[in-house]
Structure 1
Amino acid sequence: MPYTIMLDAGHGGRDPGAVFNGRQEKDDTLRLTLAIGEILQNNGVDVEYTRTTDVYTSPYERAMKANNAGVDFFISIHRNSFPTDNEVFGVESLVYDLSGIKYQMAQDINDQLEAIGFVNLGVKARPNLVVLRRTRMPAVLVEVGFIDSNVDNRLFDDNFDDIAQAIASGILDTLESVGVIQNDYYRVQVGAFRNRRYAERLLNELLEQDYPAFIDDSGPYLRVQVGGFNNLNEAAEMERRLKRAGYPTVIVR
């Protein structure tokens, strides 16, 4: 079955977000979020939303909605702001910490937006943000330019469709790179850790041997996995290779 993404249009209702010359963040984020969702759905991804109208929902409620829905990824769309107008411009993405598939997805989104003309301000760790701290799945918050920057607003308005496509493409690039947008896929798990240093040590060891390994940090443990694979036979062959190399393994779907 396809993967599910919860798209979160930042702010809403009584919370306008950042405001500049009458322009409200909540309006930009809702319009962009709906456009991104349509593109993802057209590419076979199941999409859910924290809001589709101008209503207020607290950050905690947004995180709980994603957790209760059991989605696989959470993407929150925002516009940035700075105390001084027209002083800072560019895009940045925020994640709980700089690791795992969420970090890769944030980088892929930023790269796509940079290609449109935005300055890429990078990916930053923000463990204090509720929608990143309380979600149980990989989560990324994208700041799509500064709303108090005329430069970024022109980019946003003149390239709206391209921006929606860029964010969707960044998401899809990440999913394709780890093989998770196939209808059925399998991975071979080689270890599960609470200590990130141990997980990264095993990851690097596998990568040095050219195994397609990565860390899945979507649950309570850091799971070092190899794959995915289109069918069980391919996964079983990889499991045999890893076992012959001395690794403990289990196939996960």
Structure 2
Amino acid sequence: MAYKIMIDAGHGGRDPGAVYNGRQEKDDVLALALAVGQILEDSGLDVEYTRTTDIYESPGEKAREANNAGADFFVSIHRNSFPRPNEVSGVETLVYDRSGIKNEMAENVNRQLEKIGFRNLGVKERPNLAVLRRTQMPAILVEAGFINSDIDNQLFDDNFQAIAQGIADGILDTLGIKPSGTMGAAYTIQTGAFRNEDYARTMLDRLLSQNYPAFIAEGNGYYRVQVGNFDTLEEAHMMERRLRQSGYPTAIIAG
């Protein structure tokens, strides 16, 4: 039986969320929620949404909707804000408390988004938030960068699909599910995924200069920097440890 995931796009309707230079949080997160949900559906999960259009529901209503649907997990997607623009940037994921599978999922999501280039601000406890307090299933709230950070907005716009994939992969990793299309015997290590080819080639050149067997896998508008081709997961883990010691973010890719 497939896991049921309730995906929540924060705010909506009369509530724009955070606003910066005309950009509204509710729009960014709706697009991202739908993209994440599609990836999870393609990977075999049962996905429902609190909203798929620009409507408003209170956080309490969203929690009740998830409870009534019998969801196994609740994932709320937001963008952060700071009182002074361009002073803080990065991703963080919020949980009711730092225990159990929700904390593991939050850490996995943050780790995936860090690979794209976001600063990882960690997992934070927020027991006062209704969507974390009133949900009867493990729940996380992903803050996908600061909407009043030009750096984060550039990352968000240039790497939109990679961000959706990263959030989905963090969820799937936690559930022990391989993303759609990754079945296969061989493994590679991914150190970055970029829309900008120059960024990918900069990372590639650095890896090659350190004698790593790196290459770029291009597809779906992204340049994915990867290392090696390993027959066993043990060999892939050994290379992953070396890359981490060299300061690279890593993800093992199967198939």
Gaps of 5+ in 2: 178-255
Q: What residue identity is the alignment partner of 2:158?
A: D
Q: How does 1:33-182 map to 2 (within 5 A)?
A: 33-176=33-176
Give the Cα separation in 2 of the matches to 1:8 and 1:38. 13
Give the Cα separation in 2 of the matches to 1:176 and 1:78. 25
Shift of 1:72: 0.1
**TM-score of the aligned structures, taking structure 1 as reference length:** 0.70
Give the Cα separation in 1 of the matches to 2:43 and 2:69. 21
Q: What residue identity is the alignment partner of 1:67?
A: N
Shift of 1:16: 0.0
Give the Cα separation in 2 of the matches to 1:157 and 1:165. 14
Hey, what does 1:226 align to over in structure 2?
none
Shift of 1:53: 0.1
**TM-score of the aligned structures, taking structure 2 as reference length:** 0.69
Give the Cα separation in 2 of the matches to 1:2 and 1:85. 42
Q: Residue deviations 1:113-153, cap 9 Å, x none? A: 00000000000000000000000000000000000000000
Q: What residue identity is the alignment partner of 2:121?
A: L
Q: What residue identity is the alignment partner of 2:125?
A: A
SS at match of 2:57: coil
Q: Residue deviations 1:166-200, cap 9 Å, x none? A: 000000000008xxxxxxxxxxxxxxxxxxxxxxx
SS at match of 1:11: coil
Q: What residue identity is the alignment partner of 1:69?
A: A
> Deviation above 4 Å: which 4+ runs of structure 1?
none
Gaps of 5+ in 1: 178-253
When Rg is computed on C-alpha atoms for both structures, the one with the higher figure is 1
RMSD: 0.6
Q: Residue deviations 1:78-109, cap 9 Å, x none? A: 00000000000000000000000000000000
